[in-house]
Amino acid sequence: MSTDTEDAIAVVKSQIGALRPKTGIILGSGLGPFVDSVKDAVTISYADLPGFPEPGVGGHAGRLVLGRVAGSPVAVMQGRAHYYESGRADAMKTPVRTLAGLGCDTLIVTNAAGSLNREAGPGSVMVLTDHISFTGVSPLFGEPGDDRFVDLSAAYDPDIRAALHAQADSQGIPLHDGVYMWFCGPHFETPAEIRAAGILGASAVGMSTVPEVILGRHAGLKIGALSIITNLAAGMSETGLSHAQTMTNAAVAAVAVQALLTGYLAGRGA
Ligand code: HPA
């Protein structure tokens, strides 16, 4: 474990008393308000946590919020670092390992994504079944030890997916399944890249999540992932793509994702 991780864990433990989070959650674009539902919240700025990022994207704060949602203990990251900010695929290494070191056994990752599935248009929600990396990099580059050869054959936990689907059904929220393809960004994809992604089996594209999933599996965490669809992918609609559009449409579907997360956490219990 790196010193940053040990130091970050110590900072958090010194502030949360007996609370032991079971679920780590990384909030993507538009989902920041989810932290308002954390009860008895302890909020720690990333600036006070060694190895945590200072997120540079509009719509991302840099805070770790610990407490309970629906009675279940959580550690919520409001804001993440993206590969495209630094060119470092391991930018989320310390945060993910800190969540695991605090006792979380599960990591729920959320993001905003473009859809290749016209049935899952802007404002809809997708639970990820798998991913494709189109970046050529790994957050585990340079990692020593045989456990770096992480098995990703069931990276997206089937039980978590089933629990999210059960929540979606009971709350009447349409929930699509999909394969997420990670592009490096910060530019959006070209229409030709999106056609290629479709041929390769992608249902959604985005610029995050995959590094955290790989780091999470390496740390032994069970993974669930939800995408807020903010747009049809490049070349699939008349409208061009922009970050402003991402933020506007993310806010629409964020309500549904928050309801899914809250219901899922209620099922996890104390
Ligand atoms: N591509 C990549 N990332 C995204 C998109 C997209 O179309 N929409 C939101 N994040």
**Residue of 135, 239, 246 with the most ligand 1 atoms within 8 Å of its CB, for mutation:** 246
Of the candidates 228, 74, 223, 204, which has an alpha carbon nearest to the alpha carbon of residue 161?
A: 223
Q: From the CA of 24, how far away is ligand 1's center (Å)?
A: 23
Residue 60 pLDDT exceeds 60: no
Residue 237 pLDDT exceeds 60: yes
**How far is Cα 243 from Cα 184, in angstroms, rounded to an integer?**
15
Nearest CA to ligand 1 atom 6: 114
Strand partners, 76: 25, 65
Q: From the CA of 3, how far away is ligand 1's center (Å)?
A: 34
Residues with CB under 6 A from ligand 1: 112-114, 183, 188-189, 205-207, 230-231, 233, 241, 246
**How far is Cα 39 from Cα 197, in angstroms, rounded to an integer?**
41
Residue 167 pLDDT exceeds 70: yes
Nearest CA to ligand 1 atom 10: 113
pLDDT of 243: 84
**How does residue 57 score in pLDDT terms, banded at 50, 70 and 90?**
low
Report, in this order, helix, strand and coil percent for the chain, each rounded to 5.
35, 25, 40
Q: What is the mean pLDDT of residues 129-156?
A: 97
What's the mean per-residue pLDDT of the chain?
A: 94
Residue 55 pLDDT exceeds 60: no
Of the candidates 49, 262, 162, which has an alpha carbon nearest to the alpha carbon of residue 62?
A: 49
**How far is Cα 175 from Cα 260, in angstroms, rounded to an integer?**
10
Q: From the CA of 241, how far away is ligand 1's center (Å)?
A: 8
**C-alpha dihedral sign at 20, 111, 133, 154:** positive
Interhelix angle 158-171/243-268, rounded to 10 degrees, is 100
**How does residue 56 score in pLDDT terms, banded at 50, 70 and 90?**
low
Stated pTM of the model: 0.96
Does residue 178 sit in helix, strand or coil? strand
Residue 234 CA: nearest ligand 1 atom is 7
**How far is Cα 177 from Cα 157, in angstroms, rounded to an integer?**
13
